[in-house]
Amino acid sequence: MMYPIVAQSLGATPVAVANKDWAADVDGILAAVTDKTRLVYLDNPNNPTGAYIPKSEVERLIAGLPQTCVLVYDAAYAECVDAQDYTDGADLVAAHGNVLMTRTFSKLYGLAALRIGWGYGQPALLDPMNRIRMPFNANLPAQQAAIAAVRDPDHAEKARVFTIEWRKWLTAQLAALGLDVVPSQTNFVLIRFPQEQGFTAEEANQYLTERGYLLRWLPGQGLADCLRLTIGTEQENHAVIELLRAFMDRQSYPVEDQA
């Protein structure tokens, strides 16, 4: 949601391209590129759907872009991915001078409140950015926390394993309740709710909020039938499933046999 806001604040014209099968549509992006296009933003995996496109599709996108256009590859959830055909973008930067990979400490490392991240690109791309950036763009506590995070790879691996295991568990549990879940490669799952009165995403959101569980309802992003559930602690994961089970059972929503 920040991409168009930042673009407009700088006098640029943002052009949104709809997703295809919940992830980026490479053909749609290339069709939208004109001789005025200077930046293409790609979040992979996608937020808020959790879906991703494989490395081959990203390479096809890069091949179709003019050299005057920079691909900003937002890999915020890269640490959460277990798909073998995914790329975090580091290899793309090494091979292409017009690719900038961005990363964050907000997701797997849990440092969201500190607003700290990093980017990786070739010198010819980064040097102009360094000349115009603000001199105090990252505060000292955030820098120290980020340094401590990267010096503790064991904790990061534990968090990664936990995230993947509980993502699979939540996906299976939600499917057993008759809810559609978009296949995710992130630290959240996107849940699609029925359109029937009594079982909608809006009603589920209110039901959960009243009981102390805050999910993200997404009508402003064209996903009014969806809630985004971030993977929590073991206790929180079990509790939210039990609450959703109670919500769906209120009027005996029909669940297809999963066997």
Indicate which CATH number applies to the domain containing 138: 3.40.640.10
Are residues 32 and 95 located together in one domain of the fold? yes
Where a domain ends, among 128, 150, 172? 150
Per DSSP, the three-state class of 105 is: coil
User: What total of structural domains would you count in the chain?
Assistant: 2
Q: Are 180 and 204 in contact (CB under 8 A)?
A: no
In tens, the pLDDT along 215-252 reads 999 999 999 999 999 999 999 999 999 999 999 997 55
Q: If pLDDT is split at 50, 70 and 90, which confidence band does 15 have?
A: very high
Question: Side by side, which strands form the sheet with 39-43?
Answer: 39-43, 70-74, 99-104, 117-120
Cα angle 21, 236, 112 (rounded to 5 degrees) comes to 70
The parent domain of residue 235 ranges over: 154-249
Q: What is the mean pLDDT of residues 2-10?
A: 89
pTM: 0.91
Predicted confidence at residue 90, as pLDDT, reads 97
Q: Could you give the CA distance from residue 15 to residue 4 in angstroms, rounded to a whole number? A: 8
Type of residue found at 69: C
